[in-house]
Structure 1
């Protein structure tokens, strides 16, 4: 939905880019420092070395050719019907085009996906598919794209996908339950590092946005930058920020973390899998966590950090009193009406 978002001046885009990069680096390394410090304190108090539980990395198979072919056929059929003004077919076409372009992106070699993540191919492909249908049916592109995610009683393809975000968040509970032994083994680091990352990201990002003199409508979109997308959308709504712009900031943060987080930690000789996982999950949410799937010992902790930072951030913003504190840090007032 980014093409429908308000256009931003180049100076604001540069400041947002600075916040994304610098904020990511700060969260990544500050979380690592907190973890290492707590590890030392716990070891000193208990006289025991910290537990390091190595788990075999999880491996997932790429989408099959049959699945991609199926999505391709459904996309073509629904496109044909949509050109004949069959409205439900237009929604189906956009939905299948989204699924098709994402699964195709997942089939790319790992080296290609470092630069061309499936999220990028999905976004570009879906926008292209929507633009094609608009061209064939003589519908202006903005009007056609506006039907993708309506957030009204008449659902588009984006509304169908967004309806799955809630159940997706609920599944985090199963992930946390499966890893409860790992979390308990290093409970102090898990809890305190994620709480620190949450508060530092929310308030630090809000204050820096205000310090850089970003207007309220722009400054608020960067606040949920470390929160996984399903919860970041809810936080953006609560803050009164533009959902399309906020989601883009989240995606860029995740892409940055997925590509460089593990390498940066290795450069600075951060080897403990618990520290690596918590740092990446707290700073780069879902995309960064997915990139850690090859590190069996780090991956569960990245998933825990992603989950806990998302949950803590959502709870914190959901309460009016604490939300007002974040708004005050970002724009100097305690009401989101300034951006509406």
Structure 2
């Protein structure tokens, strides 16, 4: 037990340390390329080199970081929550008409990207006619078992952090039928918002200042949300282990995977921009929702390249897209008759990133490897397109 805790602390600590070092180095060198993405490529390259020269070393390397990988998998949805908690602040200055347009693009864009990715995978699969082989087993984390008031980030932090964590654990323990319409993230966000409301009421500071303390975006004075989102880029680094573990699967089904991911990525970015212009959505808001189909950390890195983008809106739209996918992905797959696990996995991850992936893989573990591969590749591809473009 003690050894396991130490192993987790060391492995997770190393990932976080690498993330922090790369982030500082990129800032010092004025490099705009996402540092975590560079780190992911480096780790993956090291693993491939070790696997071709000293396979035992590659296996040991991956095994050492398994506890950290399982920790990230278990708590990953929680790292998205701050974006929903501060949603009232993100949308307060957005006109209702613009909000309705964003909602239309979010839901319609999810379904369109979902269909494009799925049908592209099916078309290429029929063309290349490769036989589906068994994937490497993917580990899954075990399920959860169930002082004075002030007006500063320091005093708000323990209350709001505890409310977020407990809300997520309670939400994760709800019956499956309830979670279909009430995702653990929603429970978590409501728990944090209700706590912020109570804190603001009893301290007579109001809700908005407390939400501001929840996510300060200042490393010198972090709030509860900043602590949770501090783990997001470690998620990107962990992609390297998922991709390495499924390297044989990627090689065998490279045509289906890469073609459908490229097509869906291009479609997602350019269709969002086109529809935003078509419905006359403000350019700054259109830019803010461009990376709606990838993980929050990389979405924030992408919009940081554009002037005037609303990063809080970006994060919220990404999470809401994931929630739409998590709630409707399986029913939509069945309705469209996507039977192939490759198509099901790629369509899900390309349109609803990690949250959709978690919802599908909970019931269809055979689709998880393709979800993980598409999830990582889609994020990488969109980041490169935004940087080059």
Query: What range describes the TM-score normalised by the shorter chain of this pair?
Result: 0.7 to 0.9
Q: How does 1:22-33 map to 2 (within 5 A)?
A: 22-33=108-119
The answer (yes or no) to whether the contact 2:135–2:369 under 8 Å persists in 1 is no
Distance 1:84 1:209, change over 3 A: closer
The answer (yes or no) to whether the contact 1:54–1:297 under 8 Å persists in 2 is yes
Q: How does 1:100-249 map to 2 (within 5 A)?
A: 100-152=166-218, 153-239=220-306, 240-249=308-317
Structure 2 residue corresponding to 1:64, chosen from 139, 145, 166: 145
- Deviation beyond 4 Å, 4+ runs, structure 1: 54-60, 84-87
The answer (yes or no) to whether the contact 1:227–1:306 under 8 Å persists in 2 is yes
Structure 1 residue 54: Cα displacement: 6.0
- The 2-side partners of 1:159 and 1:84 are apart by 19
Task: Report the counterpart of residue 63 of structure 2 in structure 1.
Answer: none
Task: Report the counterpart of residue 15 of structure 1 in structure 2.
Answer: 101
- The 2-side partners of 1:214 and 1:84 are apart by 40
- The 1-side partners of 2:194 and 2:175 are apart by 23
Please tell me whether residue 35 in structure 1 is matched to residue 121 in structure 2: yes
- The 1-side partners of 2:359 and 2:346 are apart by 13
Structure 1 residue 57: Cα displacement: 7.9
Give unmatched runs, 5+ long, in structure 2.
1-85
Task: Report the counterpart of residue 78 of structure 1 in structure 2.
Answer: none
Structure 1 residue 315: Cα displacement: 2.4
Task: Report the counterpart of residue 88 of structure 2 in structure 1.
Answer: 3
- The 1-side partners of 2:302 and 2:346 are apart by 22
- The 1-side partners of 2:295 and 2:286 are apart by 19
- The 2-side partners of 1:224 and 1:233 are apart by 8
Alignment TM-score, normalising by the size of structure 2: 0.73
The answer (yes or no) to whether the contact 1:82–1:90 under 8 Å persists in 2 is no
Secondary structure of the residue aligned to 2:372 is helix
- The 2-side partners of 1:300 and 1:277 are apart by 8
Structure 2 residue corresponding to 1:301, chosen from 348, 364, 370: 370
CA RMSD for the aligned pairs?
1.9
Alignment TM-score, normalising by the size of structure 1: 0.83
Structure 1 residue 173: Cα displacement: 0.8
Structure 2 residue corresponding to 1:90, chosen from 156, 166, 188: 156
Give per-residue Cα distances to partners, 1:92-143, cap 9 Å, x unaligned.
2221211111111111111111111111111111111112111111112211
Comparing 189-198 with 54-63, greater Cα deviation is found at: 54-63
- The 2-side partners of 1:82 and 1:241 are apart by 37
The answer (yes or no) to whether the contact 2:153–2:222 under 8 Å persists in 1 is no
The answer (yes or no) to whether the contact 2:135–2:246 under 8 Å persists in 1 is no
Task: Report the counterpart of residue 278 of structure 1 in structure 2.
Answer: 346
Give unmatched runs, 5+ long, in structure 1.
44-48, 66-80, 323-340
